[in-house]
Chain A
Amino acid sequence: MMLCGVCIAGFTSSVFLDVVTRTIGLPVLWLQLATTGFFAWGVFIGMAVATRRIDHLNLVEITKRIRGSKRTCIEVFNRTIMLLVALTMLVFGVQNFMNDLGSFRAPSLIPLATYTASVPVAGALIVMFCVEQLVNGLINGFEGPEDADDFVGIVR
């Protein structure tokens, strides 16, 4: 989470400096590259953090209302799908990274790989977090405090 904060603080500063340097007539071109770098890394690192905190957006929260072995089966299935997607991000992200070592972003000629590395790194983190959640869930169960229904009072 700290890295997410660093990324947003980084690109706020770089956009600010970009506007200031441009206004005073001394534009610094690499600031735009720094901005997009912070932004991309922030998105993919945040994606991994959201996986760990179970903060991602869901179509339905069906599993929170289920208990016991049925819940375990569904949660294991869901984590397996996430794990497969994350593994794909990791494996093919590394291939993209290797290819992008030879591509450069104008005007500073920074390797494109410095940006695209965010995808396999996020993939690796998500794999770790999914495995952690699977192991914890299978040992201690998938039920947790986040299952509490905040809207019960309103619906009643």
Chain B
Amino acid sequence: MTNGAILLLMTACFLGFGYMGVPVAFALMAGVLAACALTPISMQSMIGQMFHGIDSEILLAVPFFLLVGELMTSADVTNRMIKLAQTMVGHLRGGLAQVVTLFSMFFAGISGSSTADVAVLTRTVAPEMTREGYDRAFTAALIACASTMANLIPPSIMAVVYGATGNVSIGGLFLAGIAPGIVIGIGLMIYSHFFGPVGLRKPRATLCEFADAVRASTLPLMIPVIIMGGILTGWFTPTEAGMVASVYILLVLVPLLAPGHIPNLPRDFVFTGLLYSIPLALVAAASAFGWMLA
């Protein structure tokens, strides 16, 4: 069998099984194993390649950033950032749409996960937008678009995975993502202002209200500073930055801002433990797939 035919078979297996509803990680592995059956390459080496695909210290940053997002969300610390966004842009035309975009920019700088961003916004701001008469389709589209900023603004999990698999500087990728992420945010705010629903016009927040909101969200907003500051000054690696951010939340934010959440911390760990394994199982399967292609 020629190399082209094997490549075609692998792609057909992946897409065919994938569209039948087989989970992506298994569809990828099925393609690899089908190709193994037709070549002298041993299946044993391919299964070994799955392990080597995730045996990378850089990938450890992924669960830490997911843990940060999960802890922030479940401890309700994110509400403080939403209030800050409201005092900053809530009075503009399409106020809540502007809040969604600005909050996404803040939260992207903390969790790096677009899924976590969507989870927070659909639970907090989306019901409020429905109550204020925003079209639900517009709300869904805006949240989906705004959450993509988490893939650009550091600490982006996508950047970590790309850096780990492509052997590219993660600090460099983080720096490169800042400007495009902010430009997308500004673009969404401009679109919402001119073409989105008007929403309820609210009075501009007073300086006192703004100062209160800033004070309340200072501790959560220290996280992007810790992460990027630590990485750019060379104090720690992206993995260690994620760990420092997690420990900061566990030892400072939760006890100070949400002490009632402490008994629920084990549940957050269990949930994050499951959450991080799903994309990394994909990385493991994709690593074997890529190795076979090469």
Interface residues of A (CB under 8 A from B): 1-9, 11-12, 15-16, 19, 32, 35-36, 39-40, 42-47, 49-51, 53, 55-63, 74-75, 77-78, 81-82, 84-85, 88-89, 92-93, 95-96, 115-116, 118-119, 151, 153-155
Contacts and interface: CB of A to CB of B under 8 A. Distances in A.
A141 to B, nearest CB: 16
15 contacts: A1-B274, A8-B272, A19-B240, A35-B57, A42-B276, A42-B277, A43-B277, A44-B281, A45-B277, A47-B25, A50-B278, A55-B278, A57-B24, A81-B17, A116-B48
Interface stretch (B59-67, B72-80, B187-195, B203-211): B59-67
Contact of B243 (A16, A61, A75, A92): A16
Interface string B273-293: 110111111101000000000
Contacts of B266: 5
B23 A8 contact: no
A58 B33 contact: no
Contact of B278 (A6, A57, A81): A57
Contact of B270 (A1, A39, A59, A88): A1
Nearest to B50: A119
Interface string B44-65: 1011101100110101100110
A49 B55 contact: no
* Prevailing SS type, chain B contact patch: helix
A53 B274 contact: yes
Contacts of A44: 277, 281
* Prevailing SS type, chain A contact patch: helix
B33 to A, nearest CB: 6
Contact of A42 (B57, B140, B273, B279): B273
A57 B63 CA distance: 17
B100 interface: no
Nearest to B139: A154
Given A12-B67, A85-B29, A50 B281 contact: yes
